[in-house]
Amino acid sequence: MAILINENTKLVVQGITGRDGSFHTQQMMEYGTKVVAGVTPGKGGSDVNGVPVFNTVRQAKEETYANSSIIFVPAQFAPDAIYEAVDAEIDLIVCIAEGIPTLEMVKILTFLKGKKTRLVGPNSAGIISPGLCKVGILPALAFKKGKVGVVSRSGTLTYEIASHITKAGYGESTVIGIGGDPIIGTNFVDCLQLFQADKQTEAIVIIGEIGGTDEEKAADFIIKNMTKPVFGFIAGQTAPADKRMGHAGAIIAGGKGTAKEKIQAFEKAGITVIYEPEEITDKLSKVM
Amino acid sequence: MAILINENTKLVVQGITGRDGSFHTQQMMEYGTKVVAGVTPGKGGSDVNGVPVFNTVRQAKEETYANSSIIFVPAQFAPDAIYEAVDAEIDLIVCIAEGIPTLEMVKILTFLKGKKTRLVGPNSAGIISPGLCKVGILPALAFKKGKVGVVSRSGTLTYEIASHITKAGYGESTVIGIGGDPIIGTNFVDCLQLFQADKQTEAIVIIGEIGGTDEEKAADFIIKNMTKPVFGFIAGQTAPADKRMGHAGAIIAGGKGTAKEKIQAFEKAGITVIYEPEEITDKLSKVM
Amino acid sequence: MKIYEYQAKEIFRNYNIPTSKEKIAFSLDEAKSVAKNLTFPIVVKAQVLVGGRGKAGGVKIAKDINELESHVKSILGMNIKGLTVKKVLLAETIKIEAEYYVGITIDREKQSAVLISSASGGMDIEQVAQTSPEKILTIVIPSFLGLKPFQSRNVGYQLFNDANLVNNFISITTNLTRIFFDLDCSLVEINPLALYSVNNEKKLIAVDAKIVFDDNALFKHPDMAALRDIESEEPSEVQAKKADLSYVKLDGDVGCVVNGAGLAMATMDLIKRHGGNPANFLDIGGSSSPEKMRAAMKILTADKNVKAVLVNIFGGITRCDDVAQGLLWAMKEENIALPIVARLVGTNQDKAKALLTDSPITFAETMTDGVKKVIKALKG
Amino acid sequence: MKIYEYQAKEIFRNYNIPTSKEKIAFSLDEAKSVAKNLTFPIVVKAQVLVGGRGKAGGVKIAKDINELESHVKSILGMNIKGLTVKKVLLAETIKIEAEYYVGITIDREKQSAVLISSASGGMDIEQVAQTSPEKILTIVIPSFLGLKPFQSRNVGYQLFNDANLVNNFISITTNLTRIFFDLDCSLVEINPLALYSVNNEKKLIAVDAKIVFDDNALFKHPDMAALRDIESEEPSEVQAKKADLSYVKLDGDVGCVVNGAGLAMATMDLIKRHGGNPANFLDIGGSSSPEKMRAAMKILTADKNVKAVLVNIFGGITRCDDVAQGLLWAMKEENIALPIVARLVGTNQDKAKALLTDSPITFAETMTDGVKKVIKALKG
């Protein structure tokens, strides 16, 4: 069944006429994603690769019944783009944009409380339900339809690990990049919950990294609620404290959020911890 | 059964050491209200008429299990007092304070969405469930335990009309002053709903005035949801447009909110309209 | 509290909302000197705190200095709805291609600030709202976020075809919202918001400006409170405000003194219902201090239309005997000889009745009784 | 981005948060002249963008001008955790009666800004949080409302017995919150917030000050961005930032060039796991431009510790042949002779392999393979 996106996903691309927006629109369409509309204020009436462009999300939704959105606009305009999609009652927003100020995200999450819209990201690589739909910048070649759910704070590291799963023949149900920022719309627990309920998913891989306590919360959740086997990887064991490792969220601040703590939490929760990406194949073979 | 307040109400008085706060604390206690605590920052540890005073509502609640609050602090500090009571998870806040800026109230109501606390007022005369409890500045002499529910935007006009109901022997279940401001926490419809469900209440009197459309919404609600007989009075038939008639909310702005419209809406909804306070006795006698 | 167009325009300019090039003048001489720095044709606009100045002849276009002189002469001192024009705004004219409406106000039903826009500008927006509600576009402004650009854009693309104009509109509405929230307004309005062309580029400009502040929030904005023009207000209402009374002057002949706004309105209504004409709304509030009573009686009786007075008090916290005593004192101090009917019910009503027994004041038992008696007294 | 104590204190004063009377000095002469307007004893505080200056001897009290001179001499030029002290803050001392902690930061778990307070001030708050978490009071700041006075009061009465001190505390925390939100901070902190007496009145004062800005929001605050002290930063990291690379210098000898932050960290971890020592974190991002590759290689090899380089790329949008070509070009332009292992997988990986066949670069098939090969090259 896959989670979050599938063949019924009708996508509107916010920032479709930009460099990244137009390129990835083409990539997503080639993958089979139903990109029904684009939005760029002032460019309404034009089209990109045959996709009609609108001035507003509201208009785009009225004309095309879009239910999901992907945001490629620059960080400075991304919060308004998110609010616009929420206001238009889009079900799922995937925010690729990177560099949104943390306090803007705090406001956005407060605003989202009680709303039906789900936000994935920001600073997300997107989502792919292999064979069905791709909403993001993930490279198709790393994925194949299958039974492993993958959720990750990272981009290329996800492709790396997923490619081993793919090569080994298990394939993925859905792969979600939740984003590398400190404050994000959808976290590990949200995704675990969906994977637990998803029939297609038989095992789950969590790819975490230093910073925050999202991995620890996932471990708690797994102890209490999960029956499917879970595998975990944590990046940043050698990262020094108080240094931002690329992602705004990947930082050991005030001695908290170390890889060691996270690995311990995983082990305590019975998660099979992998230390090298290619190990995933072997470990999966023990349960599948 | 009465609504909103009864013998289980445990009241904290915010602003208990002020002139109005201390006077009405005494009045309420004389009426039988369980005033369990007072709050005045900096006066914690003292007492007013034997009621212990605390520095914060949180402390007051922890020590006395207060479930309701009445706010007597000046308008300038009233929003903070409301937020404090909401934060302490007080069930019912009755705000007597008058003169809170409208935009502050807009914020407060937005903040209250989804919270379990009910706010009555601001600029309310309070609530009385005769014989059981009084949370407000209403004079005891006008009321007697009985079967008519009264809800009103006004103060003395309510006492006036209620005193006729009292004199005629019907008495009141609960009398609520919802407040004379344009933006208030509890409106006519909220109270009608409670009265409809309240076994003690056999008939309801709505006392409206010019300004806004709360009476019209009440009329709509009555058509769709009420089975008990409803009586209505509207003050301000002779009020000129664009002039604030005392209450911040009593103003015909942009030609909207006239007494004529409201009376028409009442009549359409089958509400028995009374034009002189003393008429209420006759009209009630037809159904009771 | 309302302020004048020219004051509102100054606030607009501080918030980067474009207005015409314009100057205020308080006299003919000043107008002539101000005009030197402006390009004709110049529009001369009466500055008054009521609407309808156009119909009253308070707005005129001058194509040269002679016309300007005659327009200023005719407008300064003009009476518009009871208010004397004491200043005129001189503004350069533009060639208006279309007129829009944009305003922000509190929507009581939505419990929120709303942005109201319409392509039918330059007209009475309330009338547009009644006759063609579909021409009014309303957007709820989230109170914690303020107006977001996408919201203005949603409206903007319904009003304009041109992306530059939409961006203009976004900037103007965003700044209008900032004014509204920064200064605790109850209304900010541009009507008309005009479309015109400069060097073949279409632009939007505020041709008129209206700002009303929330009286309850003025304490936060002393610089705005200072803009209050007491001279333009009804003197009796100014006096009442000073005495902490809530008073509105009306045209009738029965003065009323009441405690509580609702009861005061109900008293007026009842007077009308029984064939009288209320001279005022007056709420003395919860206090029964003799000083307040005296101030109230003084203000009432200064209105030469007032031929009789009804005092209607529901005493709860207020004690009726206090009111009676205050009333007797006020009558004596202010030498009041008008017929007075007092209906004092509630706390200590019997004492009050006793106090008034030997006075010229007529005692009434109920509101209706009081109203009937005061009308009878009036008709003599 | 961090700023110095003296800069943070200036922001504090602009927001009405009381600080000691103090002045910054960049030289001994300046310090002596500045001291003339201050009353002894004066504390001389090294200004550096790292913690732990106290233990390093960077904070000393002078009771007269001679001591001051010797302290300033010893502190200016001092090296604290790799940073040279170039300025000292001279501050009048107060008689501290108690030390508190107060700070605002983002709580990722609560997805909100939080106010953190403690009666255990003057110490490392993170340590307090670990050893005595009950001494830490945390309040969630509602993002749409800001910190409300009642919230500060709830905390204040847990810290102080005195209503005046609580009011002091409310004012300081309210202003601290304004700084945090106005300037998009990720941390504002007063540690210690000191209690002292003036004329028998107890007061609170910020003895130290720390502000960290959210890098992602600095574009909104150019005046704050201008406070950045590039000289205090690792030169290679400054250079990397200019080239739009995300780079962090470490102590090891294996340089790594990776696309993606997670993969870059995983690569470092794997090097360590297989017995090597990573020399850096480096994320070249999604682009495969030859210029970026060149800048990356130049920065890496400028680090004399680096003895071998591992290039680890998962090509999705990034094409592996582009990376290979960029790498070859960079090696030539920068005359790089170090052993290099390249693991290029994904889009056009075969073309990349072909390109590198005749080069000195070792091709690896997997991450683990690449890591093993680079360590072997190093030890070989």
- Express each pLDDT in D38-57 by its tens digit: 999 999 999 999 888 988 99
Nearest to A250 among D261, D317, D367 (CB): D261
Q: Which are the contacts of C167, defined by CB distance < 8 A and separation ≥ 6? A: A42, C156
The least confident of B142-146, B228-232, C119-123, C364-368 is: C119-123
Rounded Cα–Cα distance for residues B105 and B128 (Å): 24
Tens digits of residue pLDDT in D223-246: 999 999 998 888 899 999 999 999
Annotated catalytic residue within B64, B247, B259, B272: B247
Any idea which residue has 């009323």 for tokens? C256
The reported pLDDT for the residue numbered D52 is: 86
Contact B113 A114 (CB under 8 A): yes
- Give CA C2 to chain center in angstroms: 6
Q: Which residue of A has its CA nearest to D186?
A: A102
Among A236, A247, A249, A274, the one annotated catalytic = A247
Query: pLDDT per residue over D296-325, tens digit each?
Result: 999 999 999 999 999 999 988 788 998 999
Work out whether strand C340-346 and strand C308-315 pair parallel, antiparallel, or are unpaired. Answer: parallel
CA distance B177 to B4: 12
Q: Which member of A152, A159, A233 has the closest CB to residue D314?
A: A159
Which residues in chain C are closer than 8 Å to D144, comparing Cβ atoms? 144-145
**Span D62-82, average pLDDT:** 94
In the three-class reduction of DSSP (H, G, I as helix; E, B as strand; rest coil), residue C234 is classed as coil
CB nearest C150 (choices: A84, A107, A111): A84
Kindly tell me the sign of the dihedral angle through the C-alpha atoms of A154, A159, A160, A162: positive
- List the single residue in A55, A107, A110 with the smallest CB-CB distance to C153: A55
In terms of pLDDT, which residue wins out, D195 or B288?
D195
Q: Residues B154-182: what's their mean pLDDT?
A: 97
Looking at residue D63, its pLDDT comes to 95
At residue D307, the pLDDT reads: 96
Residue D288 in this model has a pLDDT that exceeds 90: no
User: Residue A254 — pLDDT band, cuts 50, 70, 90?
Assistant: confident
Model ipTM over 0.90? yes
Question: What Å distances lie between residue D159 and D102, D114, D129, D152, D155, CA to CA?
Answer: 11, 17, 16, 10, 7
How far apart are alpha carbons B64 and C45 in whole angstroms? Answer: 64
Chain D touched by A138 (CB under 8 Å): yes
Which amino acids of C are annotated catalytic? 101, 189
Answer yes or no: do A113 and B114 touch at CB < 8 A. Answer: yes
Q: In 3-state terms, what secondary structure has residue C260?
A: coil
Residue C256: is its pLDDT beyond 90?
yes
CA distance B89 to B67: 8
Chain A contact set for B114 (CB, 8 A): 113-114
Q: In one letter, which amino acid is B166?
A: T
User: How is residue D145 written in tokens?
Assistant: 């409302």
Q: Is the dihedral of CA A240, A243, A247, A252 positive or negative?
A: positive
d(C-alpha D77, C-alpha D58), whole Å: 10
Q: What is the pLDDT of residue B254?
A: 79
CA C207 to chain B, closest CA, distance in angstroms equals: 21
Q: Pick the closest to residue A2 from A201, A187, A191 (CA basis).
A: A201
Query: Which residues fall within 8 angstroms of residue C301, CB to CB, at 6 or more apart?
Result: C255, C309, C334, C336, C338
- Judge contact between B31 and B139, C-beta under 8 A: no
- For residue D281, list chain A residues with Cβ-Cβ distance below 8 A: 239, 243, 245-246
B neighbour chains, 3+ CB pairs within 8 Å: A, C, D
List the single residue in B with minimal CA-CA distance to C270.
Answer: B276
Cα C40 from Cα C65, distance rounded (Å)? 8
In one letter, which amino acid is D239? Q
Which domains are assigned to chain D?
21-92 (3.30.1490.20), 98-225 (3.30.470.20), 234-379 (3.40.50.261)
Q: Is A41 on the interface with C (CB under 8 A)?
A: yes
> Phi, psi at residue B20, to the nearest 5°?
-70, -40
Separation in Å, CA A92 to CA A48, A97, A118, A128, D15: 22, 15, 5, 13, 41
Which of C139, C140, C150, C151 is the best residue to mutate to test the A interface, defined by the most A CB atoms within 10 Å of its own CB?
C150
On chain C, the residues whose CB falls within 8 A of the CB of A111 are 142, 144-145
pLDDT tens for each residue of A143-192: 999 999 999 999 999 999 999 999 999 999 999 999 999 999 999 999 99
A112–chain B nearest CA distance, Å: 13
Which candidate in D115, D150, D164, D171 is best for mutational testing of the B interface (most B CBs within 10 A)? D150
Question: What count of other Cβ atoms lies within 10 Å of the Cβ of residue C13?
Answer: 14
Chain B residues close to A113, C-beta within 8 Å = 114
Other Cβ atoms less than 10 A from the Cβ of B162: the count is 30
A133: pLDDT strictly greater than 80: yes
Q: Which CATH superfamily is domain A139-285 in?
A: Succinyl-CoA synthetase domains (3.40.50.261)
Looking at residue D146, its amino acid is: G
Q: Determine the pLDDT at residue B59.
A: 97
B56 close to D (CB below 8 A): yes
Query: In the predicted model, what is the mean pLDDT of residues B243-255?
Result: 90
pLDDT tens, residue by residue, D174-218: 999 999 999 999 999 999 999 999 999 999 999 999 999 999 999
Over pLDDT 90: what percentage of chain A?
Answer: 96
Q: Which residue of D has its CA nearest to C144?
A: D144
DSSP secondary structure, D115-178, as one string: EEEES-TTS-HHHHHHH-GGGEEEEEE-TTT---HHHHHHHHHHH-S-HHHHHHHHHHHHHHHH
CB spacing of C265 vs B213 below 8 angstroms: no
pLDDT for the residue numbered D287: 67
Residue C81, pLDDT > 90, answer no
Buried b (16+ CB within 10 A) or exposed e, C167-190: bbbbbbbbbbbbbbbebbbbbbbb
Show the tokens assigned to D45: 């505080």
Got the DSSP string for D226-281? TT--GGGS-HHHHHHHHTT-EEEE-S-SEEEEESSHHHHHHHHHHHHHTT--B-EE
One fold for B10-120 and B139-285: yes
Cα–Cα distance for residue pair B274/B261, rounded to 1 Å: 15
Q: Are C273 and B276 in contact (CB under 8 A)?
A: yes
8 Å CB contact between C135 and C158: no
pLDDT band at B1 (very low <50, low <70, confident <90, very high): confident
Residue in D189, D196, D231, D233 annotated catalytic: D189
Contacts of A57 in chain C (CB under 8 A): 150
Q: How many cross-chain Cβ pairs, A to D, lie less than 8 Å apart?
A: 175
Task: Check if the beta carbon of residue A121 is closer than 8 Å to that of residue A240.
Answer: no
Res D266: pLDDT? 98
- For the domain made up of B10-120, the CATH class stated in words is alpha beta
Going from the C-alpha of B288 to that of each of B146, B167, B170, B230, the distances in angstroms are 12, 15, 8, 12
What SS3 state is found at A284? helix
Q: What is the pLDDT of residue D129?
A: 86
- Whether the per-residue pLDDT at B38 is higher than 80: the answer is yes
With a CB cutoff of 8 Å and minimum separation 6, the contacts of D95 are: D196, D197
| Out of D142, D148, D153, closest to residue B41 by CB | D153
CA dist list (Å): D106 to B87, D4, D122, D191: 20, 20, 21, 17
Nearest chain B residue to A114 by CA: give it: B114
Residues of D in contact with B87 (CB under 8 A): 148, 150-151
Three state DSSP letters for D206-221: ECCCEEEECHHHHHHC
Average pLDDT over residues D267-281: 97
The token duo for C122 is 């330059």
Would you kindly state where each structural domain of chain A is located, as residue ranges?
Answer: 10-120, 139-285
Q: What is the separation of C-alpha D200 from the centre of its chain, rounded to a whole number of angstroms?
A: 40
B234 strand-pairing partners: B208
Q: Is residue C287 over pLDDT 70? A: no
What average pLDDT is seen over chain C? Answer: 94
Using a CB–CB cutoff of 8 Å, tell me whether A261 touches chain D.
no
Residue A263 has pLDDT above 80, yes or no: yes
Is residue A162 within 8 Å of A156, Cβ to Cβ? Answer: no
Both structure tokens of A283: 């470990």
pLDDT band at B200; cut points 50, 70, 90: very high
Q: Closest-CA residue in chain B for C145?
A: B107
CB–CB contact B80 D149 (8 Å): yes
Q: Do B113 and A113 touch (CB under 8 A)?
A: no
Distance from CA of C104 to the nearest CA of D (A): 21
**Residue written as token pair 């990049």:** A177
